[in-house]
Amino acid sequence: MAKIARVKWAGDMTFIGESPSGHAVVMDSGSSDGGLDHGIRPMEMLLLGAGGCASIDVILMLKKSRQKVTDCWVELEAERAAEHPRVFTKIHMHFVVTGHGVDARHVDRAISLSKEKYCSASAQLGALADITTDFEIRTAD
């Protein structure tokens, strides 16, 4: 049988999420819903999941194309619907890749392939949200 994920109430509006891989994360609601800011909001986790999934894809592809990447991150901006359920309607991912002689064509292709083919989290969120991307390359010191 497959391992399961579990979310357990920890009092107030705080919950502990346990992943099937054995990792845990603290979640809490905002103060307007009685939360005490003990952890990340569930919708923030969705957004971070998409950023993490896409970043893993991008780094894997850049390594395979022998790009000399020394750092990489993605900055995510999102808009949500005004009415419940307050789904994401727009997500923008801005990738920053630092390295030596990094080829923009490889970065562009890696981001495109992640968005269009490989990133399950982006595909899931993209069913309801318009996801856009761009990137910049910085030369490492």
Whether residue 85 is preceded by a cis peptide bond, meaning omega within 30 degrees of 0, is yes
Cα dist from 109 to 56, 116, 117, whole Å: 14, 10, 11
In the chain, where are the structural domains located? 1-40, 42-139
Alpha-carbon gap, residue 129 to 43, rounded angstroms: 13
Tokens at residue 1, please?
């049988």
- Using one digit for the tens of pLDDT, what is the confidence trace for 70-89? 999 999 999 999 999 999 99
Place domain 42-139 in its CATH homologous superfamily.
K homology (KH) domain (3.30.300.20)
pLDDT value of residue 1: 74
**Which CATH code is given to the segment(s) 1-40?**
2.20.25
Return all residues near 46 (Cβ < 8 A) that are at least 6 apart: 88, 121, 125
As a whole number, the mean pLDDT across the chain is: 96
Q: Is the pLDDT of residue 91 over 90?
A: yes
Return all residues near 104 (Cβ < 8 A) that are at least 6 apart: 135, 137
- Using one digit for the tens of pLDDT, what is the confidence trace for 99-136? 999 999 999 999 999 999 999 999 999 999 999 999 99
Domain 42-139 in the same topology as domain 1-40: no
- In the DSSP assignment, the letter for residue 118 is I
* Cβ contact 51:93 at 8 Å: yes
Query: In the structure, what pLDDT confidence band is assigned to residue 3 with cuts at 50, 70 and 90?
Result: confident
- Does the pTM surpass 0.85? The reply is yes
Host H or E run for residue 58: helix 42-64
* Cβ contact 73:58 at 8 Å: no
Q: Is the pLDDT of residue 141 over 90?
A: no
pLDDT value of residue 9: 97
Q: How many residues does the chain have?
A: 141
